[in-house]
Amino acid sequence: MRLFDWLDDRTGHRTWIRRWRDYPIDGGPAWTRAVGASILACLFLELTSGIALMTAYSPDARNAWGSVHFIQHAMPYGWLVRGMHHAAADALVVLLTLWVLLLVVRGGYRRPREVAFWIALAYLPLVFAFNITGGLLPFDQLGYWARSVELNIAAMGPGGGNLVKLATGTGELGTLALTRFYVLHVFVLPVVVFLLWIIRRSIEKKHAYAGGNARRYFPGQFARDLALATIVIASVMLEVKRTHGAPLGAPADPASDYPARPEWFLMWMFELRHRMPKALEFWGTALIPPMLGFLLALLPWIDRREATDQTGPAFRLRALVVLFGVFGIAGGLEYSGLHRDAMDPEFHKALAKWNVRAQKADQLALSGIPPEGPIAMLEHDPELRGEALFTQHCATCHLLGDLGDPKKFTAPALDGWASEAWIMAMMHDPDADLRFGKTPYKEQMPSMDVAPKDKPDFEPMSKEDMQAAASFLAMQADGANDKDHPGKTIVTERCTTCHLWKGEGDDGGQNLAPEFYGYGSFEWVRAQIANPATKATYREGALAPELKGHMPRFDDDLSPADIDLLARWVKARTKASKPRQ
Amino acid sequence: MILGAGAATLGAATVAPLVIAPASPMIASGGSHWVRTMKLEDLKEGERKRVAIISDLHDAWTVAKNVTLGAVWLERRGDDVRCLSVTCPHLGCAVSATPDGFNCPCHDSDFGLNGERKGGPSPRDMDSLKTRITDGWIEVDFRRYRVGVPERVEIG
């Protein structure tokens, strides 16, 4: 042990250990005193996991989401580290609240420990600040919109606008804001917490009470500290295992319509805001939490006894009742807010939409994110872009799936379009609302099996013939255009009275009914979107001015690449769906 | 006395970097606001349509061309187009269209078909933006206003 003798001589480390071991615990070891050690354990876990996350994270608007996705999906055990960082942060909110509550119950605010108590109180807003700055860093919809609303709330207060500018650099949640939140989260806040911890520890030492009922820290209290911290860290691990890491929403999109919600521990304030009369909204919600904190800070003057004073539990009981009242109200508000959202179908619909987008982004990002960022990645995805183009250009008239307004549509529903079932329905009742009924082409195509009013001698087409023709036409979409088929003669000889087959037909010269060769194929859809009047689908007659509300051409508005993409999307979607009834 | 002043100066000089650079406001990008959206002929009378505002985004040292900056609700009234910003004047979420107007999914502000305030916490009506028709295209004078205040104060 000559090495340790030497070390002790140079550093005095044995004295440190002795002081730590012999630190007097007033009233002996207690479980209620063990919370502090668990907080320390969580903070240490935050530090180690935080450093690990910093090795891959990039605080830049176009890279942040992607780097977190990388941590979550590509970095070995990245999901685990990120999950621990997230779950331990939640645990800290709970533990710190409990800790402050126990301090109040035990009279830990009493003379001469006022300053130590204030420092303990200051940890609450600090842990919120950690959560708020950290929540923006993944730059997903959840964090972006929660922060956006919170900054707008902050800007409403006096001097709030400048505070927001200071926090974000520009007032917007972009790259500068991310960098600043990052600096706060990984440097400024940890340093502040560490300094406060040092100061509080010195104050505690100064006032350490070594009365007759005091016991040494080691081993009684140490064992309790260790046990509770082990339970807490084990719970954090179990939570990570259960949730498979922290959630990552769809990439932040400033132009979207995300229903912003705060973190779970601020939900009660969200609900308070909701229930506040409009005139009181800002002051009512912005003042109540700091007022509560201020009241707590004044406790040493409300209860003016010294720390050693053991008289009467009456005050503590009253304080406890008040505190539980406050927590009860906050808990009630919290529940009410969560309950209202749970009961709101619109909220669920919006969340479901964004969950789908988050999954899509997750999946696309696995094969790499372009340097323009995850939003550009999503915009260029054929599936999403197809849907966006359809929504913007087609769904104003057409219906397809849940796109288009079922009350206002003016063009055929495209679900199952060009399938056998759809063609059968078309041949039977072309003027149904879901087909030509709401279009200028109404009454232009006759039914094949229902007699028109003015033609009593009408001879309906047989069911077998209709089936054969529909079956042959449905094959056109897949390129089996010319195959020998019982329906071929019907289509190429009887339908061509009005329709075209390879450009031939329309004996009556109506110049209206479309080409059937390749009907429903990619080429057909593409030609129809670009310009319906090229004979490849319909002809000039179909775009005649008197047919008001006809299908427009899109080759002026959309690039050839977009038309290709849209045609491919429409063909895939119509094929994957069944005709509406 | 002299030692005190010296210490204070040293203190000020070492803290200065923290204060002067990050605390000074950055210059926000301004410039022309007119943004081309969609063709007038594609907007049906009486239909409310959410269109994206696509322009250049300046963010810190980067500029991204043709990215979505925000969105607006357009409604055609004859040859005129009424334009409302989707940004809720309450706390900045994006409002959705309802059958009888607009509603914000965050704090339940309600607006009528003309963007007039009907209920909920919004301090003012939805912000209407100027539009003009150039070569058959609807152009929007895209501006943003401070949220949470009754009066309209432009940002940037």
| pLDDT at residue A572, as a whole number | 92
ipTM of the complex: 0.82
pLDDT(B6) > 70 = yes
Entry pTM: 0.82
Mean pLDDT score, A302-317: 70
Q: Which residue would you say has higher pLDDT here, A127 or A479?
A: A127
Whether residue A139 contacts residue A178, with contact meaning beta carbons closer than 8 Å, is answered with yes
- Residue A104, CA distances (Å) to A97, A181, A323, A503, B156 in order: 11, 32, 9, 89, 47
| pLDDT at residue A91, as a whole number | 96
Nearest CB partner across the interface for A155, out of B47, B62, B148: B148
pLDDT(A543) > 80 = no
Least confident of A6-10, A310-314, B56-60: A310-314
| pLDDT at residue A111, as a whole number | 83
| pLDDT at residue A76, as a whole number | 94
Nearest CB partner across the interface for A255, out of B49, B70, B107: B70
| pLDDT at residue A44, as a whole number | 96
What is the spatial distance between Cα A294 and Cα A122, in angstroms, rounded to a whole number?
11
Residue in A60, A62, A142, A149 to test binding to B, most B beta-carbons within 10 Å: A149
pLDDT(B28) > 70 = no
| pLDDT at residue A274, as a whole number | 83
| pLDDT at residue A423, as a whole number | 93
| pLDDT at residue A311, as a whole number | 64
| pLDDT at residue A285, as a whole number | 77
Enter the tokens of residue A327.
């927590």
Mean pLDDT score, A320-332: 84
CB proximity B119 to A under 8 Å: no
What is the spatial distance between Cα A61 and Cα A369, in angstroms, rounded to a whole number?
13
Contact A175 B106 (CB under 8 A): no
- Residue A540, CA distances (Å) to A131, A181, A514, A525, A529 in order: 63, 60, 11, 17, 14
CB proximity B91 to A under 8 Å: yes
For A217, counting Cβ atoms within 10 Å of its Cβ (0-12 exposed, 13-18 middle, 19+ buried), the class is: middle
CB proximity B118 to A under 8 Å: no
Q: Which of A402, A456, A401, A412 is nearest to A435 (CA)?
A: A412
| pLDDT at residue B153, as a whole number | 87
Contact A172 B59 (CB under 8 A): yes
Contacts of A505 (CB under 8 A, 6+ apart): A495, A496, A497, A498, A499
CB proximity B9 to A under 8 Å: no
- Which of the four pLDDT bands, split at 50, 70 and 90, describes residue A66? very high
Enter the tokens of residue A291.
């007022």
For residues A91-125, b (16+ Cβ closer than 10 Å) or e, as one string? bbbebbbebbbbbbebbbbbbebbebbbbbbbbbe
Contacts of A227 (CB under 8 A, 6+ apart): A34
pLDDT(A57) > 90 = yes
What is the spatial distance between Cα B68 and Cα A376, in angstroms, rounded to a whole number?
10
DSSP lists the bridge partners of residue B140 as B35, B131
What is the spatial distance between Cα A556 and Cα B38, in angstroms, rounded to a whole number?
12
| pLDDT at residue A526, as a whole number | 94
Dihedral angle computed from the Cα positions of residues A462, A467, A470 and A474, in that order, rounded to the nearest 10 degrees: -170
Phi, psi of A215 (to 5 degrees): -125, 160
Contact A156 B25 (CB under 8 A): no
CB proximity B155 to A under 8 Å: yes
Q: What's the distance, Cα to Cα, between the start and end of chain B in Å?
A: 47
Other beta carbons within 10 Å of A154 = 16
- Which of the four pLDDT bands, split at 50, 70 and 90, describes residue A246? very high
* Rounded percentage of chain A residues whose pLDDT exceeds 70: 98
| pLDDT at residue A29, as a whole number | 87
Mean pLDDT score, B65-71: 84
For residues A280-309, b (16+ Cβ closer than 10 Å) or e, as one string? ebbeebbeebeeebeebbebbeebeeebee
Enter the tokens of residue B138.
């609807």
- Which of the four pLDDT bands, split at 50, 70 and 90, describes residue B62? confident
| Edge-first strand listing for the sheet containing B48-59 | B48-59, B62-77, B80-85, B128-129
Mean pLDDT score, A287-310: 82
Full 3-state SS string of A259-308:
CCCCCHHHHHHHHHHHHCCHHHHHHHHHHHHHHHHHHHHCHHHHCCCECC
Nearest CB partner across the interface for B60, out of A166, A175, A276: A175
Q: Which of A562, A491, A489 is nearest to A530 (CA)?
A: A562
| pLDDT at residue B81, as a whole number | 92
DSSP secondary structure letters along A2-56 = HHHHHHHHHH-HHHHHHHHHH-EETTS--GGG-HHHHHHHHHHHHHHHHHHHHTT
Q: Which of A431, A511, A519 is nearest to A475 (CA)?
A: A519
| Average pLDDT of the residues of chain A | 89
Alpha carbon B88 to its chain centroid, in Å, reads: 9
Q: Which residue would you say has higher pLDDT here, A18 or A479?
A: A18
Other beta carbons within 10 Å of B52 = 19
| Phi-psi region at B92: left, alpha or beta (left = phi > 0; alpha = psi -120 to 50) | left
Q: Which residue would you say has higher pLDDT here, A374 or A157?
A: A374
Residue in A144, A168, A257 to test binding to B, most B beta-carbons within 10 Å: A257
| pLDDT at residue A397, as a whole number | 87
- Which of the four pLDDT bands, split at 50, 70 and 90, describes residue B32? low
- A128-170 tens-digit pLDDT: 999 999 999 999 999 999 999 989 888 888 888 888 888 888 8
Question: How far off is chain B from A518, nearest CA to CA, in Å?
Answer: 29
A180 → chain B, closest CA residue: B22
- B127-154 tens-digit pLDDT: 999 999 999 899 999 988 888 888 998 8
- Which of the four pLDDT bands, split at 50, 70 and 90, describes residue B59? confident
- For residue B126, which amino acid is it? M
B123 → chain A, closest CA residue: A278
Largest Cα span, chain A? 120
A271 → chain B, closest CA residue: B107
Mean pLDDT score, A251-268: 88
Contact B91 A149 (CB under 8 A): yes
Mean pLDDT score, A489-499: 87
| pLDDT at residue A478, as a whole number | 83
| pLDDT at residue A105, as a whole number | 80
Coil, strand, or helix at residue B142? coil
Mean pLDDT score, A356-379: 92
Coil, strand, or helix at residue B39? strand
DSSP lists the bridge partners of residue A501 as A504
Total count of residues recorded for chain A: 581
Coil, strand, or helix at residue A353? helix
Mean pLDDT score, A370-389: 89
Whether residue B45 contacts residue A396, with contact meaning beta carbons closer than 8 Å, is answered with no
- Residue A121, CA distances (Å) to A265, A307, A327, A345 in order: 17, 18, 16, 39
CB proximity B156 to A under 8 Å: yes
ω into A219 cis (within 30 of 0): yes
- Which of the four pLDDT bands, split at 50, 70 and 90, describes residue B44? confident
- A139-150 tens-digit pLDDT: 999 999 999 998
For A234, counting Cβ atoms within 10 Å of its Cβ (0-12 exposed, 13-18 middle, 19+ buried), the class is: exposed
Spell out which residues of chain B touch residue A354, defining contact as CB-CB under 8 Å.
none
pLDDT(B31) > 60 = no
pLDDT(B27) > 70 = no
| pLDDT at residue A524, as a whole number | 93
pLDDT(B25) > 70 = no
What is the spatial distance between Cα A253 and Cα A236, in angstroms, rounded to a whole number?
31
What is the spatial distance between Cα B102 and Cα B88, in angstroms, rounded to a whole number?
10
- Which of the four pLDDT bands, split at 50, 70 and 90, describes residue A398? very high
| pLDDT at residue A558, as a whole number | 87
Contact A149 B23 (CB under 8 A): no
Contact B62 A256 (CB under 8 A): no
CB proximity B64 to A under 8 Å: yes
| pLDDT at residue A316, as a whole number | 67
DSSP lists the bridge partners of residue A306 as A111
Spell out which residues of chain B touch residue A271, defining contact as CB-CB under 8 Å.
none
- Which of the four pLDDT bands, split at 50, 70 and 90, describes residue A182? very high
Which residue matches tokens 């996991």?
A49
Coil, strand, or helix at residue A515? strand
Give whichever of A198-212, A287-301, A412-426 has the largest mean pLDDT.
A412-426
CB proximity A255 to B under 8 Å: yes
Contacts of A359 (CB under 8 A, 6+ apart): none
DSSP secondary structure letters along A429-496 = -TTSIIIIITSTTTTTS--SSS--TT-TT--PPPHHHHHHHHHHHHHHTTT-TT---TTHHIIIIIGG
pLDDT(A223) > 60 = yes
* Rounded percentage of chain A residues whose pLDDT exceeds 90: 45
- A270-281 tens-digit pLDDT: 888 888 887 777
**Residue A528, H or E segment:** helix A522-530
